[in-house]
Structure 1
Amino acid sequence: MQTVVIKECENIKTPNVFTLDLSKKIVKDCIGCWSCWWKTPGRCIYKDLDEFYHQYIKADRAIYFPKITKGFVSGNLKTLFDRMIPLYLPYTTYATGESMHVPRYEKYPDIEFYYDGKFKNVAGRQIFVDYINRVFYQFYSKNITVKPIEEYIAEGGDKM
């Protein structure tokens, strides 16, 4: 099983074929130029995420270890979500009863999302979990798990 890791937490390790360390890499903002759809289909003009895109699509699962601040993902991780648009076609489908981009590839990785952070209340946590599920539903991931990082560690995950 091929795994990619996207992390902001520095003290987590897990076997994988590729790691995108967002604690060390600032993702450039999408400028909305549409080049990833029309000029260089499937590739952003920045090229800073080329290896990530390649490994992400080949992966069976993607494990995210984000830090939660003020009840939400960091701006850097949100920018990564925005920059993942080249992985989809510019066309929309209404096959599910709602507007979604058409997938560019046959499969997308399953998602394990282990967040590090607290929420003010249960409702805030539920809004966050719903948001993450919605993002990866729109990204065509079939299996999506959203849990606190403590559960990853308790289930045998490695912490350095």
Structure 2
Amino acid sequence: MSLTNTRTSYGWVAIALHWISAVGVIALYLLGERLEEAEDRAAKLVAMTNHVSVGMLLFTFLAARLIWTATQPAPAPLERKRPLQIAAKAIQGLFLLMILVQIVTGPLVIWSNARGIAIFDWGMIPSPFPAKVPWLHEAAEVAHKVAPNVLWPLLALHVLGALKHVVIDRDATLKRMLWPTR
């Protein structure tokens, strides 16, 4: 069992980064919901700090995942019909694009107000903007709220595809993302 990918299997690093990213995306959604439901300013501030801080941590894991993916061999795809291969790649690509939209627009919402991003109590990432940029703030805020409306159906399709591989195809697609093989 290897840390690195092979032509037949994902390694432990790729598997861990995938599942950390999955848990992170769900956690960010739940923290975002808590933010929307906060009843007073103090609760909203705590929820915002947690949402933003976890988002910045997730960014580091997603960046590591992209770098790892770019430097590792991809396991050969299992046999499936060409239209399903295209659909799976399209869904995965759009899903990752929506995550990227969230990761880019989240910080822009804060920075465009000429504020830095506090990551828990660890430090601050200063805004690249010396003054407020209202049009950018509005655009980033809208994109950050709209992207999940596309992201969640794509996630559902991704999970349904994994279940199809387990229940209908009875192949090793999901197993490869759970445990490395020799």
Q: TM-score, normalised by structure 1?
A: 0.26
**Bigger CA radius of gyration:** 2
Q: Specify which structure has the higher proportion of helix.
A: 2
Larger strand fraction of residues: 1
